[in-house]
Amino acid sequence: MILNDLDDTQLQTTAGEDTNKEKILREMTKAKVCFGHSVSRLHPRMKPFISSVKNTQTIIDLEKTYDLLLKAKEFFKKLKEEGGTVLFVNINPATNDITEEAAKKTNNPYITNRWIGGFLTNFEVISKRIAYFNDLKKKAETGELEKYTKKEQLKFKEELKELEEIFGGVKDVNKLPNAIFVIDARIHHYAVKEAQKTNIPIIALVNTDNDPTGINYPIPASDLHRTSVEFITKFITE
């Protein structure tokens, strides 16, 4: 479209979008979203998302990240509007608190300690373990476990603590999620594979050492910096 053919409203909208995009790109730069891994770790399928290499470090093309980020955000927004559930996954101790906080704010389940094998591909069995955990927790809260010996109570207490670490973030899950959101597709490859097998859409932060193949909504970004993970997570969920 020729600029002269635009009316005042269209000009204002276009200018507003451009200003907003520039603002977001500056924020992404400040958050260090652009810093990938060293070029020696570059996955061949991530080459299209690289803008340059500086001192052996790959630099992610933020223009492409911006476009993909908007698509992921729109998908997340639509799911929430339709009452869908997104499973948040991040077992990296350096940033998993960001993921847990975002999941709680958006009323979504989360896994931040270790991936529960079979959570998606063998959900029927996992759901029984979740039910057992909830039942045991209820009995502990209502005092039903006091009828047991001290030794047995201690055993239940230890079991409950272990189950809390595993199932605490998914205790209210009674069906498969409508999507999963993972931070770093490479370290969460088991979660990604299970989602792919069950045809569950995947939103994922992918660094330059990741394989974006099969990720429905890949977001090229740094997982090396906490600020990057925080920016990507907040942008999508807020």
CATH no. for residue 217?
3.40.50.10490
Can you give the residue range of the structural domain that contains 100?
31-120+176-237
- The b-or-e profile of 54-89 (16+ CB within 10 A means b, else e) is eeeebebebeebbebbeebbebbeebbeeeebbbbb
Give how far Cα 109 sits from Cα of 115, 175, 196, Å.
13, 11, 19
In this structure, the answer to whether residues 165 and 186 fall within a common structural domain is no
pLDDT at 14: 44
Report the alpha-carbon distance of residue 100 to residue 107 in Å, rounded: 10
Q: Structural domain tally of the chain?
A: 2
pLDDT digits (tens, 9 = 90+) for 119-174: 999 999 999 999 999 999 999 988 988 888 888 989 989 999 999 999 999 999 99
Give how far Cα 148 sits from Cα of 152, 153, 163, Å.
6, 6, 20
Parallel, antiparallel, or unpaired: how do β-strands 179-183 and 202-206 relate?
Answer: parallel
In a domain, 11, yes or no: no
pLDDT at 238: 87
pLDDT at 146: 85
pLDDT at 153: 86
In a domain, 2, yes or no: no
pLDDT at 11: 34
Structure tokens at 35: 């810093």
pLDDT at 16: 56
Give how far Cα 169 sits from Cα of 87, 174, 212, Å.
9, 12, 26
Instruction: Write down the H helix ranges in the chain.
Output: 8-30, 62-81, 96-105, 123-142, 150-167, 189-197, 226-237
pLDDT at 38: 93
pLDDT at 114: 93
pLDDT at 4: 37
pLDDT at 149: 87
In a domain, 19, yes or no: no
Positions in the chain whose pLDDT score sits under 50: 1-15
pLDDT at 25: 96
In this structure, the answer to whether residues 129 and 190 fall within a common structural domain is no
pLDDT at 17: 60
Report the alpha-carbon distance of residue 124 to residue 120 in Å, rounded: 9
In a domain, 81, yes or no: yes
In this structure, the answer to whether residues 41 and 104 fall within a common structural domain is yes
In a domain, 25, yes or no: no
In a domain, 85, yes or no: yes
